[in-house]
Amino acid sequence: MTGAGRMIGSPDCTPGYYNNEGREPGPAAKLNVGHPAEPMAYFKYIEGWRNNGQFEGPQFR
């Protein structure tokens, strides 16, 4: 996976819900991004992960 995720909205736009009312984004803003390679790449990645059957990463209880 490569590329940079991007935040929705821009601080340069008219203040509103999607740009934090025009304020600077806080530390949690780094979590408000999409998949680095866009949605279709994410779906393809998840499909491969599921089809693999190894389920590397999460621990099921």
So where are the chain's domains? 1-53
Q: What percent of the chain has pLDDT over 70?
A: 80
Instruction: Answer for the pair 57, 50: CB distance below 8 angstroms, yes or no.
Output: no
pLDDT of residue 1: 44
| H-state helical runs in the chain | 39-52
Q: What is the pLDDT of residues 31-58, one digit of tens each?
A: 777 788 888 999 999 999 899 988 888 7
Average pLDDT over every residue of 14-21: 76
Strand partners, 7: 33
Separation of alpha carbons 33 and 37, rounded Å: 11
On the 0-12 / 13-18 / 19+ scale of CB atoms within 10 A, 56 is exposed
Average pLDDT over every residue of 24-36: 77
